[in-house]
């Protein structure tokens, strides 16, 4: 990846000399002829390195050095001057300069100093991301499961991690798709590089394109600084595309091209840049069915579905519930700074018999709530939400078709109406939460709610207004 360097010097000849030297070494170069111009450019763009003269007509380069370090401590700064003095060199180092060089330059010495400064910047970047990811990394050992489906998942992760193939993680909302994606990344040879993620359904198309591929400064209103984009930031690592089924058709085309060519072009840019990124995609929908229905591109489906990983819902691995409950009790007891609670037999029985439409995420929320409300030494059924005590519909994997047959569409419509009604009741009428509970987009949920008369006319009109 090419580093971006800003040269600040009032002498045009020095600017041009350094530009040619740096561009010959494949660096991106911007120049400024004054302290004010340098300050303005640094405020608008991000730079990995700044080469800055000390004495300039409109100010002191040492003051600009201090401002740069305050704004972005990761950026390395090399001070330049034709007036060498021990005092100015010491002052430059005190204010955070990486090094100090004298004019006229020794070209080979200058190259070495620049290279070492950029290595320092890269090391700082790596340390920042590694620190952020370290805690997450240790969570991978906490992917709980002794059930057969989860043991099969663990075995698959070990095998998948050794490859560089694209992975598609499928599963209902709340099953832990991102945890699995992180596990694949951290068990792979890319573990020392970045794992970045984006929810494809959470951003409008134009913002998603900018987020993935980056943009040039001035590419659109509000683009006051250049943006690298996640593909470039994840170079050498892994990019997790969550809810890829929500991606618009035109974005699907752009993503497919990036995956095929292994190159990206920033919004508003003209040059393509090669990237080395492993893609892990996830969806809570039947992507094959969407492909057959024309809702998702077939060529993109086969591009991302090289290695499919299907996560089982919690209701299919009930033997893992006690392990998960114990884990969440310990986790939230620590964060609440309380002694871990025990859980009564009756309460555990309720948790094991509940259907868990929100899967592990819902279980985690229930345990956190119960711990917060519990006052005794043990959590009881009284500490659990009341809806856990209500009979749950049997939505098992196998259904028996009556001998006389049935009318499928009315049957499915009735089941949809019942489940959506329950979701709305459970979420106090908040449609976005109810949609998430059922693994539906808000648009789809609202469509069926209006069709089935599950919201009044006022709500319907409001929904249209906010769409």
> Does 123 lie in the same domain as 164?
no
pLDDT of residue 403: 59
Q: What is the mean pLDDT of residues 426-443?
A: 85
- Block residue for tokens 């340390």: 127
In a domain, 134, yes or no: no
> Does 153 lie in the same domain as 287?
yes
Q: Are residues 181 and 280 in contact, defined by beta-carbon separation less than 8 angstroms?
A: yes
Q: Has residue 410 got a pLDDT over 80?
A: no
- What is the rounded distance in angstroms from the CA atom of residue 265 to the CA atom of residue 231? 10
Q: Are residues 256 and 241 in contact, defined by beta-carbon separation less than 8 angstroms?
A: no
Q: Residue 152 belongs to a domain with what CATH number?
A: 3.40.50.300
> Does 163 lie in the same domain as 289?
yes
Q: How many CA atoms lie within 13 A of 399 on its CB side?
A: 11
Q: What is the pTM of this model?
A: 0.61
Token pair belonging to 438: 């059922």
> Does 306 lie in the same domain as 166?
yes
> Does 157 lie in the same domain as 15?
no
Collapsing DSSP states into helix, strand and coil, what is residue 101? strand
Please measure the distance between the N-terminal and C-terminal CA atoms of the chain and give it in whole angstroms: 40
In a domain, 133, yes or no: no
> Does 300 lie in the same domain as 202?
yes
Question: Among 273, 293, 310, which residue terminates a domain?
Answer: 310
188-192, 295-299, 426-430: which has the minimum mean pLDDT? 426-430
In a domain, 402, yes or no: no
> Does 187 lie in the same domain as 304?
yes
> Does 107 lie in the same domain as 187?
no
154-168, 281-295, 309-323, 405-419: which has the minimum mean pLDDT? 405-419
Nearest one of 273, 261, 207, 202 to 235, comparing CA atoms? 273
In a domain, 142, yes or no: no
> Does 364 lie in the same domain as 270?
no
Share the mean pLDDT of the chain. 85
Q: Are residues 177 and 312 in contact, defined by beta-carbon separation less than 8 angstroms?
A: no
Q: What is the DSSP letter of 340?
A: P
In a domain, 138, yes or no: no
The total domain count for the chain is 4
Q: Residue 354 belongs to a domain with what CATH number?
A: 1.10.8.60
Q: Are residues 206 and 250 in contact, defined by beta-carbon separation less than 8 angstroms?
A: no
Q: What is the mean pLDDT of residues 346-373?
A: 91
- The DSSP string of 400-457 is PPPTT---HHHHHHHHHHHHHHHHHHHTTT-HHHHHHHTT--HHHHHHHHHHTT-S-H
> Does 322 lie in the same domain as 260?
no
- The DSSP string of 263-316 is EEE-BT---EEE---EEEEEESS-HHHHHHTTSS-HHHHHHH-SEEEEPPPGGG
Q: Has residue 294 got a pLDDT over 70?
A: yes
Q: Has residue 461 got a pLDDT over 70?
A: no
Q: What is the mean pLDDT of residues 349-368?
A: 91
Q: How large a percentage of the chain has pLDDT more than 90? A: 43
Q: What is the mean pLDDT of residues 354-366?
A: 91
| Beta carbons within 8 Å of 412's beta carbon, 6+ residues apart | none
In a domain, 62, yes or no: yes
In a domain, 403, yes or no: no
- What is the rounded distance in angstroms from the CA atom of residue 14 to the CA atom of residue 16? 5
In a domain, 98, yes or no: yes
Q: Residue 64 belongs to a domain with what CATH number?
A: 3.40.50.2300
- The DSSP string of 187-227 is TSTTTTS-EEEEETTSS-HHHHHHHHH-B-TTSSTT--S-B
Burial 238-254 (b: 16+ CB within 10 A, else e): bbbbbbbbbbeeebbeb
Question: Among 240, 275, 310, which residue terminates a domain?
Answer: 310
- Block residue for tokens 């920033």: 266
Token pair belonging to 228: 């690298």
Token pair belonging to 285: 């929908």
241-255, 293-307, 359-373, 375-389: which has the minimum mean pLDDT? 375-389
Q: How many CB atoms lie within 10 A of CB 307?
A: 16
Question: Among 294, 310, 326, which residue terminates a domain?
Answer: 310
- Block residue for tokens 């991978």: 140
> Does 302 lie in the same domain as 173?
yes
pLDDT of residue 119: 86
Q: What is the mean pLDDT of residues 226-237?
A: 92
> Does 226 lie in the same domain as 340?
no
Range of the domain at 15: 4-128
Q: Has residue 52 got a pLDDT over 80?
A: yes
- What is the rounded distance in angstroms from the CA atom of residue 351 to the CA atom of residue 323? 12
Q: Residue 446 belongs to a domain with what CATH number?
A: 1.10.10
């Amino acid at each position: 990846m090419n580093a971006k360097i800003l040269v600040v010097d009032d002498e045009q000849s020095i600017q041009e000399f350094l530009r040619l030297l740096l561009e010959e070494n494949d660096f991106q170069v911007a120049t400024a002829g004054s302290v004010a111009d340098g300050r303005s450019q640094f405020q608008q763009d991000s730079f990995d390195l700044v080469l800055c003269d000390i004495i300039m007509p409109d100010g002191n380069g040492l003051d600009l050095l201090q401002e740069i370090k305050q704004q972005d401590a990761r950026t390395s700064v090399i001070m330049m001057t034709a007036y060498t003095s021990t005092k100015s060199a010491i002052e430059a180092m005190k204010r955070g300069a990486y090094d100090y060089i004298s004019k006229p330059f020794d070209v080979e010495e200058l190259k070495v100093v620049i290279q070492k400064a950029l290595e320092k910047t890269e090391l700082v970047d790596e340390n920042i991301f590694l620190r952020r990811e370290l805690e997450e990394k240790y969570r991978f050992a906490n992917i709980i499961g002794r059930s057969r489906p989860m043991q099969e998942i663990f075995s698959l992760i070990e095998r998948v991690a050794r490859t560089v193939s694209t992975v598609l993680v499928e599963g209902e909302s709340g099953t832990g798709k991102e945890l699995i994606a992180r596990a694949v990344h951290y068990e792979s040879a890319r573990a020392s590089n970045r794992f970045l993620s984006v929810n494809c359904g959470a951003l409008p198309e134009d913002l998603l394109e900018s987020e993935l591929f980056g943009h040039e400064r001035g590419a659109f209103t509000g683009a006051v600084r250049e943006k690298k984009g996640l593909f470039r930031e994840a170079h050498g690592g892994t990019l997790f595309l969550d809810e890829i089924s929500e991606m618009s058709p035109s974005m699907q085309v752009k993503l497919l091209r990036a995956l095929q060519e292994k190159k990206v072009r920033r919004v508003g840019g003209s040059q393509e840049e090669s990237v080395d990124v492993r893609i892990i995609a996830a969806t809570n929908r039947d992507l094959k069915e969407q492909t057959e229905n024309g809702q998702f591109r077939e060529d993109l489906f086969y591009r991302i579905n090289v290695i499919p990983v299907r996560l089982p819902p919690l209701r299919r691995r009930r033997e893992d519930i006690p392990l998960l409950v114990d884990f969440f009790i310990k986790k939230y007891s620590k964060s609440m700074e309380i002694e871990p609670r025990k859980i009564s037999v009756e309460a555990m029985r309720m948790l094991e018999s509940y259907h868990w439409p929100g899967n592990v995420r819902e279980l985690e929320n229930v345990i956190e709530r119960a711990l917060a409300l519990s006052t005794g030494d043990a959590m009881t059924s009284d500490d659990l939400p009341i809806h856990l005590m209500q009979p749950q519909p049997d939505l098992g994997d196998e259904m028996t078709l009556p001998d006389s047959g049935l009318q499928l569409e009315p049957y499915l419509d009735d089941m949809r109406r019942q489940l959506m009604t329950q979701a709305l009741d459970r979420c106090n009428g908040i449609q976005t939460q109810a949609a998430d509970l059922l693994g539906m987009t808000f648009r789809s949920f609202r469509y069926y709610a209006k069709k089935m008369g599950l919201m009044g006319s006022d709500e319907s009109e409001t929904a249209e207004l906010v769409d």
